[in-house]
């Protein structure tokens, strides 16, 4: 199993580190445009192998796509992150050009690759990857919902004063400060709806804290987060590489599901060796349906900037 990670910055390196530690891939290639950077990150990570107990071979390259040839999975993290006070959508001007070139190069060298798009604004970048590569829709996956759901569980556990392993929950919709839809109605603590334990006000607070999860960290760190993003990507890569058939909310091209078409947005999918093996349609309440439509409109507005 060969995995390429484009962008050896904060998220790309964290993702390569977690893939290494989980020890399921034979090879990870890190590629970056900055001279020597991916090689340096790869060497540093490889010097953790005997300490962390993994055999995955991690190598780095400066923009040489021939080294990525034959990749089963490729992760795109190349592009600029936001600074405090910015939205993810403001990154489109620079990141669209990068994601277009990178996705074309990846597919040229690995025609059977499954792409995982991370660069922001992620839903639009996943849509752009479809436009620029023409890959079948099961082979382009936008990562956002897995991370947002992890943050949702963190906030739920905080409110419930319980371990995160006690809680379950999912975030659908656009990966943006206003477009996320944490499904509080369906969240549970050991199968018991969380509304049995938390007031409506507290649940609304959990929802709001989840939606601004990325912005909160960006304000604290001065740039956007990388540990949880890297871990979330590594979980998607593992689900595909190990044919796990696990369910994650991912940004995928819809064709009528949830009443939406011709956009990528976060919905639950089953991930296995073929990438997206199934889109799961969760029955939504009228309010959730309305919120999903608004979120989709926000995605379409950003997609329209690709042609502006
Ligand atoms: N979808 C998500 O949930 C999520 C989570 C975290 C970060 N992100 C996004 O991921 C992206 C990366 O974030 P980061 O914190 O790792 O940034 P970073 O600046 O640390 O790393 C980005 C790397 O991309 C490289 N790069 C730029 N252009 C390139 C190109 N054409 N080819 C190859 N490499 C290139 C840069 O040299 C840099 O090393 C940002 O757009 C950020 O917003 C998304
Ligand atoms: O917040 C960001 O800009 C980065 C990423 O999308 C995140 O949610 O951490």
pLDDT tens per residue, range 218-256: 999 999 999 999 999 999 999 999 999 999 999 999 999
- Asked whether the predicted pLDDT for residue 144 surpasses 90, the reply is yes
307 pLDDT band, cuts 50/70/90, is: confident
Please state, rounded to an integer, the average pLDDT across all residues of the chain.
Answer: 98
Cα of 225 from ligand 2 centre, angstroms: 6
- Inside any domain, residue 308: no
Give me the pLDDT at residue 267, please. Answer: 98
Give me the pLDDT at residue 131, please. Answer: 97
- Check: CB of residue 88 under 8 Å from CB of residue 179: no
- Inside any domain, residue 95: yes
Give me the pLDDT at residue 308, please. Answer: 80
Q: What is the pLDDT of residues 19-58, one digit of tens each?
A: 999 999 999 999 999 999 999 999 999 999 999 999 999 9
Give me the pLDDT at residue 132, please. Answer: 97
Would strands 171-173 and 167-168 be described as parallel, antiparallel, or unpaired? unpaired
What is the rounded CA–CA span in Å between residue 39 and residue 147?
27
CA within 13 Å, CB half, 143: 29
Structure tokens at 217: 């960290």
Give the count of beta carbons closer than 10 Å to the beta carbon of residue 283.
7
- Inside any domain, residue 114: yes
- Inside any domain, residue 196: no
Closest-lying ligand 1 atom to the alpha carbon of residue 31: 33
- Inside any domain, residue 131: yes
> The pTM is what?
0.98
- Inside any domain, residue 266: no
CATH number at residue 108: 3.40.50.720
Q: ipTM of the assembly?
A: 0.99
- Inside any domain, residue 214: no
Q: Is 175 a catalytic residue?
A: yes
Cα of 77 from ligand 1 centre, angstroms: 4
The residue range of the domain holding 38 is 2-142
Looking at the 3D structure of the chain, how many domains does it have?
1
């Amino acid at each position: 199993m060969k995995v390429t990670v484009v962008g050896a910055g904060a998220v790309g390196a964290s993702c390569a580190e977690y893939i290494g530690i989980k020890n399921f891939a034979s090879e990870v290639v890190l590629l970056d445009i900055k001279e020597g950077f991916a090689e340096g990150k790869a060497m540093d990570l490889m010097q953790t192998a005997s300490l962390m107990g993994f055999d995955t071979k991690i190598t780095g390259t400066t923009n040489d796509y021939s080294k990525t040839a034959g990749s089963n999975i490729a992760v795109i993290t190349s592009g600029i992150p936001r600074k405090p006070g910015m939205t993810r959508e403001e990154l489109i001007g620079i990141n669209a050009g990068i994601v277009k070139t990178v996705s074309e190069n990846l597919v040229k060298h690995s025609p059977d690759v499954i792409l995982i798009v991370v660069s922001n604004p992620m839903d639009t970048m996943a849509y752009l990857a479809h436009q620029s590569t023409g890959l079948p829709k099961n082979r382009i996956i936008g990562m956002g919902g897995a991370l947002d759901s992890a943050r949702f569980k963190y906030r739920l556990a905080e409110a419930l004063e319980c371990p995160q392993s006690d809680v379950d929950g999912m975030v659908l919709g656009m990966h943006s400060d206003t477009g996320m839809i944490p499904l509080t109605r369906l969240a549970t603590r050991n199968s018991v709806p969380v509304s049995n334990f938390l007031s409506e006000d507290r649940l609304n607070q959990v929802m709001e804290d989840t939606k601004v999860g990325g912005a909160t960290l960006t304000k604290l760190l001065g740039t956007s987060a990388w540990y949880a993003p890297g871990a979330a990507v590594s979980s998607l890569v593992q689900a595909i590489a190990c044919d796990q058939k696990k369910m994650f909310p991912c940004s995928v091209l819809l064709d009528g599901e949830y009443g939406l078409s011709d956009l990528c947005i976060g919905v639950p999918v089953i991930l296995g060796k073929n990438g997206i093996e199934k889109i799961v349609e969760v029955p939504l309440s009228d309010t959730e349906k309305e919120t999903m439509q608004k979120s989709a409109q926000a995605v379409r507005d950003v997609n329209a900037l690709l042609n502006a």
